[in-house]
């Protein structure tokens, strides 16, 4: 048994370090529906500051969960999409949605969205 849960030696700790960061699960959920622009993600997560969103997206890029696509247009257009590795998180997001609906109060049904995202991944 692993006595110390460090992200370098424990798979659960490594996953929790990524998915447990504030806003990450919501961003992955939103990106499961397809490519999103920065402003779309910002509007989908009320309360997130542009700086925090930028930082979270940068970390997700570094972890190879999200890819940033820049288009040489005027004005510049940037979109974010999940990578295959990022789509690997969708069953976790779906399980979180199911848990929330079964055990916590939630007035918006994301279950169908998550199920579609999992089956199309």
pLDDT at 50: 96
Measured in whole angstroms, the distance separating CA 115 from the mean position of its chain's CA atoms is 15
Give the residues of the chain that fall short of pLDDT 50: 2, 114, 116-118, 120-121
pLDDT at 63: 95
Is residue 82 within 8 Å of residue 91, measured between CB atoms?
Answer: no
Inter-axis angle of helices 111-120 and 90-103, to 10 degrees? Answer: 160
Is residue 35 within 8 Å of residue 79, measured between CB atoms?
Answer: yes
pLDDT at 116: 47
User: What CA dihedral angle connects 28, 65, 81 and 87, to 10 degrees?
Assistant: -60
pLDDT at 114: 47
Core vs surface per residue 4-17: b (16+ CB within 10 A) or e: eeeeeeeeeeeeee
Is residue 46 within 8 Å of residue 60, measured between CB atoms?
Answer: no
pLDDT at 117: 47
pLDDT at 113: 52
How far is Cα 89 from Cα 93, in angstroms, rounded to an integer? 6
């Amino acid at each position: 048994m692993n006595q110390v849960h460090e992200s370098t030696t424990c798979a659960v700790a490594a996953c929790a370090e990524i998915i447990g960061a504030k806003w990450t699960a919501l961003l992955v959920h939103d990106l499961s529906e397809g490519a999103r622009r920065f402003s779309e993600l910002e509007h989908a997560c009320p309360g997130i500051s542009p700086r925090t969103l930028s930082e979270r997206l940068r970390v997700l890029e570094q972890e190879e969960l999200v890819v940033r696509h820049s288009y040489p247009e005027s004005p510049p257009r940037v979109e974010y999409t999940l990578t295959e590795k990022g789509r690997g998180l969708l069953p976790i997001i779906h399980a979180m949605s199911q848990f929330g609906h079964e055990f916590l109060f939630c007035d918006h049904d994301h279950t169908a969205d998550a199920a579609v995202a999992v089956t199309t991944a």
